[in-house]
Amino acid sequence: MRGMLSFLIMWFLSKRPMYGEEIAQELEKMKGSKPTPGTIYPALKHLQNNGLITSRKDGRNIIYSLTEKGTTTSKKAFEYFCIMFEPVFRDCIKAKNLKKN
Amino acid sequence: MRGMLSFLIMWFLSKRPMYGEEIAQELEKMKGSKPTPGTIYPALKHLQNNGLITSRKDGRNIIYSLTEKGTTTSKKAFEYFCIMFEPVFRDCIKAKNLKKN
DNA sequence: TCAGATGTATCGTATACCCAATAATAATAT
DNA sequence: ATATTATTATTGGGTATACGATACATCTGA
């Protein structure tokens, strides 16, 4: 249940490397509200400390990307997430179809 | 990001009233692991304090159900959840289809 | 070169979440 | 009826996630 933010961050990074602000913006698109730096950077640091992501400087940005370990972990977490929330998803689809009628 | 547990509890209760142990079992089906009482009951208490659920005794069980306020809140949270995680869901479906081939 | 804009980092705090151990209760069998 | 047992609920405490506010660093353009 815990660690949804880290999960989403890794999911983003599985698409393409991003820097912190970019990740925050993606989350804003999703959630409607932008996480504050105090939310995003500690999470990134934590992921990095666990060897799941690496960072490299590019100009003023620090670009994060998944490590090999991170890729594996992210895939597993993704599969777990899919299975776990499948019943809710089905409900989402159902609700959507109902609205169409 | 936080409050996933409460969200799921309310989602369960939107289907039918349940007592604590039942909710824990539903979560076990979903997650694979059963939350301990110390996880579930504080969450229930919190929801009740916020007027989102009510409880009534039935035999040895305490059956929880959504209040009117809870129903409204739950619906909104559900819609929000659907919109927010839609891109991830799409990925889930994609991943599933790939496996079929 | 310095001002504004953008990106990054840190600190303190709240609380959701979680576990373990314990208590309470009802169902049961004797 | 009473004791036993199984099931359900409660409590207390610990931890990590997430948040807001603030401060720092770096780039860019005038």
Q: Which of B5, B86, B88 sits opposite A81 (nearest CB)?
A: B88
Give, as one character, the DSSP assignment of residue B16. S
Task: Give the strand order in the sheet containing A18-19.
Answer: A18-19, A61-66, A53-58
pLDDT of residue A98: 82
Does the pLDDT value for residue B101 go beyond 70?
A: no
Q: What is the mean pLDDT of residues B40-52?
A: 96
Which ranges in A16-67 belong to alpha helices (H)? 20-31, 37-49
Q: Does domain A4-100 have CATH number 3.40.50.1100?
A: no
Is the C-beta of residue B37 closer than 7 Å to nucleic acid chain C? yes
Q: Within 53-82 of chain A, which residues have Cβ less than 7 Å from strand C?
A: 60-63
Helices A4-15 and A68-100: crossing angle in degrees, nearest 10, is: 100
Class of domain B4-76: mainly alpha
Question: CB of residue B100 closer than 7 A to nucleic acid strand D?
Answer: no
Residue of B1, B30, B86 lying closest to A84 (CB–CB): B30
**A56-85 residue pLDDT tens:** 999 889 999 999 999 999 999 999 999 999
Domain spans in chain B, listed from the N-terminal domain onward: 4-76
Residue B51 phi/psi, 5-degree rounding, is 75, 20
Angle at B64 (CA atoms; ends B29, B9), nearest 5 degrees: 40
For residue B60, pLDDT over 80 is answered with yes
pLDDT at A101: 66
CB contact under 8 A, B89 and A87: no
| Higher per-residue confidence, B100 vs B69 | B69
